[in-house]
Amino acid sequence: MSTGSDDNCIFCKIIKGAIPSFKLVETEFTYSFLDIGPLAKGHSLVIPKYHGEKLHDIPDEYLADTMHVSKKIVKALGVTDYNILQNNGAIAHQEVKHVHFHVIPKPNAEEGLT
Ligand code: 5GP
Ligand code: ZN
């Protein structure tokens, strides 16, 4: 199910499979995949299956599920330290105008990962 899909949106195209992605977890409300330009190994994006540009545009049931999926990804990655980031608007550095949560692992430097 994808609600309010926008034919010109790259993330709506990813949800539909029209643009390939490395899929992680998918649910009724949420799609998640690896970021094409990772800031760290395992950098993932979690998006609602609802096209909306900013957080306040997204219905609560979709937002709640994106958090459930983000937790699953963090546990699957096995990291203890990480950032969850979500940008709203150009001034706040949002590039893709479909709400997305970045899950960015911060691995222990002793593991040799950056
Ligand atoms: P923003 O700056 O909007 O918060 O972040 C957008 C993110 O989407 C960036 O980290 C960028 O690497 C990622 N991204 C943009 N286009 C694609 C794509 O086609 N596939 C994937 N997997 N990630 C993308
Ligand atoms: Zn979209």
**Ligand 1 lined by 35 (C-beta under 6 Å):** yes
**Ligand 1 lined by 10 (C-beta under 6 Å):** yes
Helices marked H in 1-114: 10-16, 60-77
Check residue 46 and give its pLDDT. 99
Residue with the bigger pLDDT between 53 and 2: it is: 53
Give the count of alpha carbons within 13 A of 79, CB side only.
Answer: 25
Section 67-95 average pLDDT:
97
Altogether, the residues listed in the chain come to a count of: 114
Section 60-86 average pLDDT:
97
What is the Å distance from ligand 1's center to 10 Cα? 9
Query: Taking the domains of the chain in order of start, what are their residue ranges?
Result: 10-111
Ligand nearest to the CA of 6: 2
Q: Flag whether pLDDT at 2 surpasses 90.
A: no
The C-alpha atoms of residue 92 and residue 90 are separated, in whole angstroms, by: 5
Q: Which CATH architecture has domain 10-111?
A: 2-Layer Sandwich (3.30)
ipTM of the complex: 0.99
Give which of 100, 109, 112, 110 is closest to 43, Cα–Cα.
Answer: 100
Catalytic residues, by residue number, are 100
Q: Flag whether pLDDT at 62 surpasses 70.
A: yes
Mutate which of 45, 86, 104 for ligand 1? The one with the most ligand atoms within 8 Å of its CB, which is 45
Is the pTM higher than 0.90? The answer reads: yes
